[in-house]
């Protein structure tokens, strides 16, 4: 006898990237920042006393919201703090979409979206990206034709790393009739010289919700803290109605506020990641792997189909994934259409990246 709702019974849960227990594994599979959180975060952590935990935390995380509002030059009413970006995605779905109404995502993209849609019993409409991972000129029409109430765009895109220009996002936001979530989980790694800034869209459009997380750029994946940026019309119902009463805890509020108020050190880690991204991409290219142009902290590398020892690039990709794993290096392999001949490789420290390149070279160019 099952007590589950029928849609829960028939759905499959999210499958996370592997989180090994051994400390000596080189982890290039879940896009964590390879550098530690900043000294401001460490100081804030050391200042927490056990008696601080006796009382409930600030329900709305107002200290954090004010800090984020200052950073983005908005009001605290435009900010919602959440228990990781994943909670914001769940809140957007439960607040803006009735069960049975559709949710649109680009294909491929973050594999958590269909899981959270299934929980709300919402059909997912997948809109294929072009071969170059761009959304294509009629993307907004495709969204509207799908009847979706809510659409997710990841920018920079995962798993390709491709950055879509704000002008394109603006066109989509203007034409799409539903709520548009722009998932900026990796935005901190975008080259600042590009001048990318989508936050201004929330002032222009009341249907744009931007997701930011402390997990990637701020090296706080273990903390579980993220935030949404949007018009008051979008933020208020999530803040005052659908959110859990104390969705972020005292420790995470204190640490996330410290991280956001002192960003210079984190910015150094973003710069190092960008420099390594360039070096790793070049070295991969020399080994015959081609990467989509990435503005993120990972590369989607396509294996060559010219290696005579392997029947196909798919078989070679799987082989490289497994051999790297056996040699203590984890990367991400997606057994999905258009991704089976590729590996998604997180940018690590210079030393970790060199190890990865050395191992790949030994498989692909045996001497």
Backbone angles phi, psi at 15, to 5 degrees: -110, 110
Of 224 and 355, CB closest to ligand PLP: 224
Contact residues for 51 (Cβ-Cβ < 8 A; gap 6+): none
Alpha carbon distance 333, 347 (integer Å): 15
Nearest approach, Cβ of residue 185 and ligand PLP (Å): 4
Contact residues for 231 (Cβ-Cβ < 8 A; gap 6+): 78, 202, 205, 206, 207, 208
Nearest approach, Cβ of residue 37 and ligand PLP (Å): 14
Residue 90 tokens, joined: 């769940």
Applying CB under 6 A, among 28, 103, 129, 226 the residue interacting with ligand PLP is 226
Q: How far is CA 266 from CA 189, 198, 217, 270, in A?
A: 10, 20, 7, 7
Contact residues for 177 (Cβ-Cβ < 8 A; gap 6+): 144
Of 143 and 256, CB closest to ligand PLP: 256
Applying CB under 6 A, among 32, 183, 281, 352 the residue interacting with ligand PLP is 183
Residue list 13-72, contact with ligand PLP (CB under 6 A): none
Nearest approach, Cβ of residue 273 and ligand PLP (Å): 15
- By CB under 6 A, which span of 82-90, 95-103, 235-243, 254-262 interacts with ligand PLP? 82-90
- By CB under 6 A, which span of 18-26, 80-88, 196-204, 239-247 interacts with ligand PLP? 80-88
Nearest approach, Cβ of residue 262 and ligand PLP (Å): 20
- By CB under 6 A, which span of 39-47, 215-223, 277-285, 311-319 interacts with ligand PLP? 215-223
Count the residues of the shown chain that bind ligand PLP, applying the rule CB under 6 A: 13
Q: Which of 154, 169, 172 is nearest to 85 (CA)?
A: 154
Helices 313-326 and 350-364 cross at an angle (nearest 10°) of 130
123-162 footprint of ligand PLP as x/- string (CB under 6 A): -------------------------------x---x----
Q: How far is CA 310 from CA 66, 305, 314, 316, 327, in A?
A: 56, 8, 9, 6, 20
181 lies in the site for ligand PLP, by CB under 6 A: no
Alpha carbon distance 173, 167 (integer Å): 10
185 lies in the site for ligand PLP, by CB under 6 A: yes
Helix H or strand E segment including 82: strand 79-82
Residue 137 tokens, joined: 């000129």
Q: Which of 332, 324, 278, 285 is nearest to 304 (CA)?
A: 285
Nearest approach, Cβ of residue 213 and ligand PLP (Å): 3
313 lies in the site for ligand PLP, by CB under 6 A: no
84 lies in the site for ligand PLP, by CB under 6 A: yes
248 lies in the site for ligand PLP, by CB under 6 A: no
180 lies in the site for ligand PLP, by CB under 6 A: no
Of 78 and 252, CB closest to ligand PLP: 252
Of 64 and 110, CB closest to ligand PLP: 110
The distance in angstroms from the start CA to the end CA of the chain is 60
Residue 298 tokens, joined: 């990972």
Of 211 and 254, CB closest to ligand PLP: 211
182: helix, strand or coil: strand
Alpha carbon distance 222, 12 (integer Å): 24
Q: How far is CA 263 from CA 4, 54, 69, 147, 189, in A?
A: 45, 30, 15, 40, 13
86 lies in the site for ligand PLP, by CB under 6 A: yes
- By CB under 6 A, which span of 208-216, 305-313, 329-337, 348-356 interacts with ligand PLP? 208-216
- By CB under 6 A, which span of 65-73, 84-92, 198-206, 227-235 interacts with ligand PLP? 84-92
Residue list 96-115, contact with ligand PLP (CB under 6 A): 110
What is the binding site for ligand PLP (CB under 6 A)?
A: 84-86, 110, 154, 158, 183, 185, 213, 215-216, 221, 226
């Amino acid at each position: 006898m099952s007590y589950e709702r029928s849609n829960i019974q028939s759905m499959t849960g999210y499958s996370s990237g592997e989180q090994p227990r051994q400390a000596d594994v080189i982890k290039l599979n879940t896009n964590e920042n390879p550098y530690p959180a900043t000294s401001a975060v460490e100081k804030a952590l050391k200042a927490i006393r056990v008696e601080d935990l006796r009382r409930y935390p600030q329900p709305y995380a107002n200290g954090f919201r004010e800090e984020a509002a200052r950073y983005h030059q908005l009001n605290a009413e435009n900010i919602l703090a959440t228990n990781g970006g994943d909670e914001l995605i769940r809140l957007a779905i439960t607040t803006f979409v009735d069960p049975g109404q559709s949710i649109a995502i680009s294909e491929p993209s973050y594999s958590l979206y269909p899981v959270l849609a299934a929980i709300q019993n919402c059909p997912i409409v997948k809109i294929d990206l072009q071969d170059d991972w761009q959304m294509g000129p009629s993307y907004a029409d495709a969204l509207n034709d799908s009847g979706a109430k809510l659409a997710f765009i990841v920018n920079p895109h995962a798993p390709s790393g491709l950055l879509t220009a704000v002008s394109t996002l603006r066109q989509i936001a203007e034409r799409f009739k539903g709520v548009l979530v722009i998932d900026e989980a990796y935005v901190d790694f975008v080259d600042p010289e590009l001048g990318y800034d989508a936050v201004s869209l929330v002032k222009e459009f009341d249907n744009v919700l931007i997701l930011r997380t402390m997990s990637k750029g701020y090296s706080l994946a273990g903390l579980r803290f993220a935030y949404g940026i949007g018009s008051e019309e979008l933020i208020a119902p999530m803040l005052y109605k659908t959110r859990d009463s104390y969705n972020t805890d005292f420790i995470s509020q204190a640490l996330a506020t410290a991280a956001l108020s002192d960003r210079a050190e984190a910015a150094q880690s973003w710069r190092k990641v960008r420099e390594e991204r360039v070096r790793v991409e070049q070295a991969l290219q020399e080994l015959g792997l081609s990467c989509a142009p990435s503005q993120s902290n990972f590369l989607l590398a396509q294996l060559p189909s010219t290696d005579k020892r392997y029947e196909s690039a798919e078989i070679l990709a799987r082989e490289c994934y497994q051999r790297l794993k056996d040699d203590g290096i984890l990367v991400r392999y997606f057994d999905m259409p258009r991704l089976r001949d590729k590996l998604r490789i997180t940018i690590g420290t210079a030393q970790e990246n060199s190890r990865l390149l050395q191992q790949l070279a030994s498989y692909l160019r045996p001497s």
